[in-house]
Structure 1
Amino acid sequence: MKNENSQQPLIINIKENGIEINDQYLQFPLTFSDLKNQFGDYYELWGETDTNMIYMWNDLGIKAFVPKNEGETFTLTIKTADINKDFLPKKKFDGDLKINNQPFTEFFAITESDRSFKDMEIENVKFSSWLSEDEFKNIEEVSISQKVNKKRTIIKTDKYKPNKISGKKIEFTDLNFKLAIIEELMYIKELIQPRFDIFEFTDSYEEREIDVESEGYEPIPEAIEYFKDLEIDKKFATEITEIYQDGGNDIYMNITPYWDGEDDYFNIEAYDDIKHFPNLKKMTLFSNDDKVYEELKLKGIDAVPL
């Protein structure tokens, strides 16, 4: 880690062919040296993938995915809300973020109908905003990626089209409970098809190019939406005898491939869905709340923390 960040408030203005930082214009493609010159030397090498080096300016609220190879996507992530997530910088960006001279909140124009994320584009740049789950739909982070002019090969398949079951579906109240059930029915018992594979899914996804290497440190929104919409037939309810939550479960690795298991994102918040599963007798959970285990014991379930 290095030190001595500049104390000058940052004004970042993303334009069609480059980024303006405090009146200094940087034309695409960006380099790590460009960023270091603007953001200072107080950064850490946060991680590495096959294609990217990942740097974090924790005090500035900025994260960068720097490609190892020429022609790959360069991505900046700006933390825009006071939230605690291990894959984001420790502090919120307290400068001024604009897109084509427009405040980023006006550019995204979030409405009540937006769910989890919202993608936008200008000439040579793609943007993604990740939204809070509360009613106010606050933007928690903004991802900025330079478009790369290379031909993308999309795998043509109907495999991941929305499923419509013929029987009655289970209505879940807690998504994370549902994910734990999907782990059992899809990945362990193989009663639900197709077996979801995030890399195959992204290769076949036509709405946008999903960069798993840079986006896979947090839940990929389209994967979350897939599992939210997935219908589970009530005929499978009696198959569930146990739930086992573990950071290495296939369900989590296919939503957040590089998840470190250190945050509470997949913690079950409500247990009303137990009523659907008469044979459920054992649960191993992420939760550290003793009250949860006391209440589950009263329901006849042997539940323990991971």
Structure 2
Amino acid sequence: MNQVEVLDNGVVLNGNLLTFPLSYEDIRALFGEARINVQSDNHCEYFYDELGISFEGATAYLRNLKKQKAYIDETHNITSMTMYVTGENVFAESKTEKRYIGGLKVLNQNMSRDRLYPYILGYGYNSEIKDEQGNMVRQIHMDIVLKVEDERKRKDIPVYDGDQILLDVYIGFRPERPKSDENYNIMVPDESCLIFDTFNFKLAVIQELMYNQEVLKPYFDIYDYMIFKKAHWNLETDKNIRAAVSFFKELPIPASLAGLVKEINMDGSDEIYMQIAPEWDGRDERFDFRKVTKSEMEQFPNLKKMLIFGNERDAESLRKVCDPLGIEVEPMACTSV
């Protein structure tokens, strides 16, 4: 008989720990090749018919994972699994060819009826993390839904036969965003700071120091910043968020950190750009720069190479300043213009 146990941020399936979010490689390494149903672009269901279980992932889920600080990479976009128990009531248009036969526990216990609550698809289930005194700290990060088609039977329909689950089950990863203790009030350090004439070059330096090396503080996160400012901005946008731009313009960078910058490798997926424009697709030139000044570049004695947005013409323009300083400049787009 199969056995699923729901944990705080994942499940144990027949003794195999699955921590969400998952990639297809994670589940394939444990259970082999899945039968894959592509519902739409980058939205897939992965069926394991012998188990009576499917997993679901989509690139569209990555946005929420980033918002909740649960993002790993683009491949880890699987956030739910379904157990097809009845062979009748299903959550998706397609289903496994065989039923799930086995148990379901939550934090090593069968689900108690007093924690079931009415849900649009049947029963939802609350499970709590408690402290040593037995006080609730929070709900677990997993959303558990038991499907019941007939609303009139919801109060009476059995959930278990012994340890065997009797209803179809949806288990979704719903992480709670961890609280931040960052202080976003800009503090001027008691030392000299770098001076920038080119804002987009400054952003590239911040990417290296704040997000790659994590030596420049505070570590800026637009969602935490919004909470800190008690603001309500639209973050589902490809437009620049003015408050984020203003923060980075005002942010002082101690000159003592300049020696840590040895390379600049600009990439459209860099964290700095996602903080300024969370939905930016990298297809415009808003973060490019084609000119720098000798004085700002001389502040970086160990900088030897820059990979920049743009083409060969953009690189050539920068080389006029960078070549005499021993800084190699190469464009991401290598075609000549």
Bigger radius of gyration:
2
TM-score (norm 2): 0.42
TM-score (norm 1): 0.46
